[in-house]
Structure 1
């Protein structure tokens, strides 16, 4: 399994948690936690992204595989997160914003 440098992971999670909190919430709700009240991206690797999700029942870790399969390059991360967001919107019946 591909692991990314800590600076890459920190950059991606910082961006997601700073600029895309709503996207993380949609991903949590669409991929297994429809009652999520908070969602924070805490990690990623070549196989998928990792979020800490808060629900009324408590806090849990959620791993979502990259839709396009395993990745190995930094630029692929953005593409896969965007696809996760689009799938989440589709599953939840929300019109995605343009990229």
Structure 2
């Protein structure tokens, strides 16, 4: 038996509404990545403690924050130019806390 933890954020009131209603300013993106980092690290610790073999991060809810991200209606999300570096930093920290496979 192989155990995986899928850490998918739930955005309110819904994923599309969350993204459409968010200001997506530079300050907002800074806060978003800071909160997602905390979310990812919490789940990395949880997966490590539970002995999971894999940790799955991401999903539809975070797609607008991926480099080149688009909103649910196809419009650009305005993700910062340094989004790839931010994601790499988060993944590096996750891998420092979780010894299994990160997907």
Task: Work out whether the TM-score is over 0.5.
Answer: no
Query: Higher helix share goes to which structure?
Result: 2
Question: How high is the TM-score relative to the length of structure 2?
Answer: 0.28
Question: How high is the TM-score relative to the length of structure 1?
Answer: 0.29
Query: Higher strand share goes to which structure?
Result: 1
